[in-house]
Structure 1
Amino acid sequence: MISFGLSKTYAQVIISRSIAGFLNGNAGVVKTMMAEMSDDTNRAILFTFLPVAWISGFTIAPFIGGSLQHPAQRFPAYFDHPFWREYPYFLPCLVAASFPILAFFIGIMFLKETNESVRRVPRGATYGSVPSDDRFESTPRHPSTPSLREAMTKPVVIAIANYAAFAIINISLFAVFTVFLAVPLHAGGLNLPPQVIGNILASLGGVSGATQFLVFPRVHKRFGGKKTFTFSVSLSFLQLACFPIVREVTLIYPRSWIKFAIIGVMMVIWSIYDMGLVRSIFLFITAASPSPSLLGRLARAFGPAAATSLFALSVKHDWLRGYGVFLCLSLAPVVAICLSTLLPNGVEARTSRDGSA
C-alpha cells in the first residue's frame, strides 16, 4: 500500500499491485482454518461469519479512499505541503496500510494453529502451562495426505470449475462497475466524483454484509447450496441489464436522483447475488477439494483484465452503442449455470457419505 501511494507512473502502479496480489494468500488460509474448525453440522453457519473481514474492508476502504484522496485540496489547513500535492493518494494508502500491520500483531499474539496434523503440543502440558524443555509430541489427525492426482476427483474438478466461473463473474462485474462509475459520460460511464464513488462502494459493502448475515443462513437451510448458487448466478443477468439502463437515464436526466435509485437497486441485487455465490460455492469447495485456490486466482487475474478491456473496446468501436461488453459478459453466467447443474444436490449429505466410506 505504501508503494502504491508513492507511485507516479503506470508501471509503478502495476508493480505495486502485483506485489499486493503476490502477498494476498491469506484468503485461502482463512477458509482452510475455518473448514478445519467446523464440520457438516455447523459449517454453513460458521461460513456466514467468513466475510466479516472482507465486508468490513469493503465498507471502510472505499470511504477512506474517497474521503482522504487529495488531502492538500480537501484539508489545506492540515496538509498544505508539497509532499501531499505530489502524492495525492498517499494518505489513504497510509491509513489502509495500518490495518495489515495491526492484523500481523493480532495474529502473532492470538492466532492458534487449527491443523492438528502439524500442531506441536508440549508433552504433558495443559492449558496455561509452560513447558520446561523442548520435548514435543505431535497430534496427527490425518494419517496420510492424498497426492494432487488422487485429489483431483470428479467432485473436486466440478467444484473448482464452478469456483472459477464464479470468480470470473464476480471480479469482472466489480471491475467494470468501478470503471463505469468513474469514466466520463462520453466514454461510457457515469462521471461520478471519487467521494461519491467511495460512498457507493461503502454502501454496497454494508448492504452485502447485512444480507449475508441475516438472509443467507435461512435461505441455505431452506433451499440448499445448489439452488442458492444457481439462483444467484441467474441474478447476474439482471445486474448486467442495469448498467445500460442507468447510463441511459443519466444521459436523459443528468441531475436526477433516479440514477442513484437504480444504483441502489443494483446494490441490493449484488448483495443477494454475492451471498449465494460466495457463501454457497465455498461450502462445495470445502467439502470437495483440499486446494482449489489456484484456478480461482487465475480466474480472478483474468477476469478484471478481460472485462475492463472489453469495456474499453465496446466504447471505442461503438459495439451496440458501447454496451457490447455487457452482452459479452452475459456469456459467463450461462457457462456458470450449466456447470452448476453438475454440483451435488447436498453438500452435507455427500460429506457425511464420504466420511463414512
Structure 2
Amino acid sequence: MAATTTATSSATPLNGAPKPLSKQPETVSWMSLPNKKQLFILALCRLSEPLSNTCLLPYIYYLMKSIVSPSSDPLTEEAASKISTMSGFLVAAFPLAQFATSMLWGRLSDARGRKFIILFGLLVSMISNLAFGFSKSFGALLFWRILAGLANGNVGVMRTMTAEIVKERKYQTRAFLLLPLVFNSGMVAGLALGGCLADPVTNLPWLFGPEGLFNITGDPKGVAWTLLYPYALPAMLNAGLLFLALSLAVFGLRETLPGKEDTPDIGLAIGRSIYHSFQRVILRRDQASAGYTALQLDDLDSQPLGTILEQKPLPPLPVQPPQSLPPLKSIFTKDVLTTMVSFGLLPLHNSAYMHILPVYLSTPRSPTSNHTPRSPLAFTGGLGLPSPTIGIQLAALGILGILLQLFIYPRLQRRIGTLNILRLACVLFPLAYFSTPFLSLLPASGGGRWAVIGSVIWTQVMARTLAIPSTVILLTEAAPEKRVLGSVHGAGNMLSSLARAVGPAVGGWVFAVGVREGMIGLGWWCYLVVVAIGAACWSWVMRGKRVEGE
C-alpha cells in the first residue's frame, strides 16, 4: 500500500492536478513513409524531365558544332559565338514549351484526374526523345525539344500527387524531398549517359569502334549507324527508361484526385492480374520443387481481384457530385504570389548556369590563358574538356548532392526551418557564379586544378540541392486549400518553365557576347551574379510564419 502511495505521489503534483505527459516527437525515416509503392512509381515518372532536359548538356557544344562547322578546322570567334547562341535557344525551347502547358495540365488534372495527364506526358516524351537522337538539322532538333517540353509540363501534377499520396504533415517533408531527389538522380543519370554515350565510336571504341564488339559488319570506321547518328545512343536509352516508367504507371499508379480515387481503372486491373498470375506461378513452382501440392483454398488468395468481386458482389458506392473548382482569383493569395516569385527566380539563374557551364567547360582554352590578362576581368577561353569528362564530373558532383539531400537536408530543415535553408542557399549561389570564370586562369595540368574546379562547381550543386526542395515545400504550404494544389503547382511550374526558358536564352546570349569581346566572365558576372543577388534579397521578403508551420 505504501509503495502504491509513493508511486502515485511521484506522478501527481502537490495540488492534486495530474501532470501532463510529455509526448516524444516521432522520428520519421524514409522507411516509415506511407504508400511507398505509389511514391516509387511516381518517382520513376519524375525522371522524364531531367532525362529529357539534361542528357544533351554534356555534348550540346559538339552537337551544335557539327551543324555550324562540320569540318575539323579551328573555330572562328563568330562560329563559337553562334554555337553558344544556338545552344542557348535549343536549351530554352524545352522550358518555354513547359511554360505554355503547365497551367493547362494543372487545371485539367484538377478537373479530370492526375493519372491520365502523367501517362500522356510520358508517352509523348518517350517519342520525342527517340526522334531527337536521329535528327540532323537545327530545325528538327528544335521541334522535338519543344514537343518534349509540352509533354513535361505536368511536373506540377506530380508534385500535387505527392501531397495527395502522403497526407499526414509529419511525413510530408521527406515526401516532398523525394521528387527533387529523383530530379537530381535523373540529372546525374542524364549527364553521365549524355557524356559517355554521345559519339560512341570515339568515346566507346571497344564497343562501337573499328574493332568494337558491336561492329559485326566489319566497317573500317566503326558501327555504321553510330557514325551517321552519333548522338542517337543516349536518346535511345532515355526512351527505354521512359518506356519502363510508362509501363509501371499504367499498371500500378493509382488516381489521387479527391472524389475520383475509386474510379474503375482498367490499367490497375490488368496490372493486378499480371501480379497475381506471376505470384501464383512462382508459388506453384516453389511448392512443386519441395514436393507439396497446394490446397484449393490457397488459390482463392491468389485470384485476381476482379474474379473475387464477381463471386462476391459488393453494393455500389454512393456517387458524389464533383466539386466545382474555386476561381483563380481566390487561389493566388499574397502568400502564394510571394512564394511563387521566389519559385521562379531560382530557375532564372540555375537553368542558365546548367546551360552555360557545359559550354564553358567545352570551349577550347585560350592560347594566351597562361599569360597575364590586360585587366583582371578581361580574359577569355574555357577549359577545353571532352564530353565524357564533363558528364562524369558533373554526375559525380550530382551524386554528392543526392547524399546531401538524403542525409543532411532533413536534419537541417528540422534545425533551422525551410525558409532559412532557402536563404542559406541564396548566399552560396553568387559566390559560385563569381568564381567560375576564373577557372580559365588555372594551369592546364596538375592535381590542384581539379580540386579547385570541383570545389567551385560543388558550391553551386550544394546551393541548388538545398534550394529546390525548399521552394517546392514553401509553395505547397502556401496553397490556401489542398484541392487547388494542382492549380498552384501548375502556375508555379508555368512560371518556373518561363524562367528556365529566359535564363538559358539570355544567359547564353550574354555569354556569347563575352566570348566575342574577349571577356569570358561577362555572362557570369553581368547576368548570373545579378539575378542570384536579386533572388537572395527576395528571400528576405518572404514570410516564414505561415509556410514554416512552426
* Same topology, TM > 0.5: yes
Give the letter aligned to residue 47 of structure 1: F
- Say if 2:434 and 2:529, in contact at 8 Å, map to a contact too: no
Question: In 1, distance between residues paired with 2:320 and 2:393?
Answer: 48
Cα distance in 2 between the residues matched to 1:282 and 1:347: 15
Q: Out of 238, 248, 262, which is 2:431 matched to?
A: 238
Q: CA deviation at 1:129?
A: 4.6
Q: Quick one: percent identity of the two aligned structures?
A: 26
For each residue in 1:156-184, what CA deviation from the matched residue of structure 2 results, as whole angstroms up to 9, or x when unmatched? 11011011101112111111111111111
Please name the residue that 2:177 is paired with.
Answer: 48
Equivalence for 1:59: 188
Contact 2:346-2:535 within 8 A present in 1 as well? yes
**Cα gap change, 1:136 to 1:190, in 2 (>3 Å):** farther
Partner of residue 224, structure 1: 417
Equivalent of residue 520 in structure 2, options 287, 312, 322 = 322
Structure 1 residues 252-289: Cα deviation after superposition (integer angstroms, max 9, x where no partner): x1122333212221343123201221011111111124
Q: Partner of 1:192: helix, strand, or coil?
A: coil
Residue-pair matches, total: 341
Code of the aligned partner of 1:223: I
Q: CA deviation at 1:144?
A: 4.8
1:225 touches 1:346 (CA, 8 Å); kept in 2?
no
Distance 1:159 1:90 in 2: 40
Q: What residue is the counterpart of 1:255 in the other structure?
A: 445
> Partner of 1:42: helix, strand, or coil?
helix
Asked if the contact 1:116–1:139 (Cα under 8 Å) also holds between the matched residues in 2, the reply is no
* Distance in 1, Cα, partners of 2:355 & 2:530: 17
What is the match of residue 355 of structure 1? none
Displacement of 1:99 after TM fit?
A: 0.7
Q: CA deviation at 1:194?
A: 0.9
CA contact (8 A) 2:254 2:261 kept: no
Amino acid at match of 1:6: F
Shift of 1:70: 2.0
Quote the residue 1:20 is aligned against.
Answer: 148
Q: Which residue of 1 aligns with 2:498?
A: 298
Q: Which amino acid aligns with 1:41?
A: K
Q: Are 1:286 and 2:479 matched, yes or no?
A: no
Corresponding residue for residue 394 of structure 2: 201
**1:171-206 per-position Cα deviation (integer Å, ceiling 9, x unaligned):** 111111111111112363211001101101211220
Indicate the SS of the match to 1:322: coil
* Distance change in 2, residues 1:224/1:347 (3 Å): farther
Normalization by structure 1: what TM-score? 0.88
Are 2:252 and 1:105 aligned?
no
Shift of 1:101: 0.5
Distance (whole Å) between structure 2 residues aligned to residue 121 and residue 322 of structure 1: 57
Distance (whole Å) between structure 1 residues aligned to residue 541 and residue 259 of structure 2: 32
Q: What displacement does 1:72 show? A: 3.1
Equivalences for residues 175-190 of structure 1 within 5 A: 175-186=355-366, 188-190=381-383
Amino acid across the alignment from 2:515: V
Question: 1:310 — aligned with what?
Answer: 510
Alignment TM-score, normalising by the size of structure 2: 0.58
Q: Which runs of 5+ in 1 are unaligned?
A: 353-357
Aligned to 1:340: 539
1:7 aligns with 2:135: yes
Does 2:348 align with 1:168?
yes
Matched residues in 1 for 2:410 and 2:496: separation?
A: 24
Point out the structure with max Rg over C-alpha: 2
Please provide the CA RMSD for this pair.
Answer: 2.4
Tell me how far apart the structure 1 counterparts of residues 428 and 198 of structure 2 sit (CA, whole Å): 34
Contact 2:417–2:548 (8 Å) recurs in 1: no
Kindly indicate whether residue 231 of structure 2 is the aligned counterpart of residue 89 of structure 1.
yes
Q: Which moved more, 1:127-136 or 1:2-11?
A: 127-136
Q: Residue 60 of structure 1 contacts residue 202 of structure 1 at CA under 8 Å; is this kept in 2? A: yes
Query: CA contact under 8 A between 1:121 and 1:139: conserved in structure 2?
Result: no
Counterpart Cα distance in 2 of 1:68 and 1:167: 27
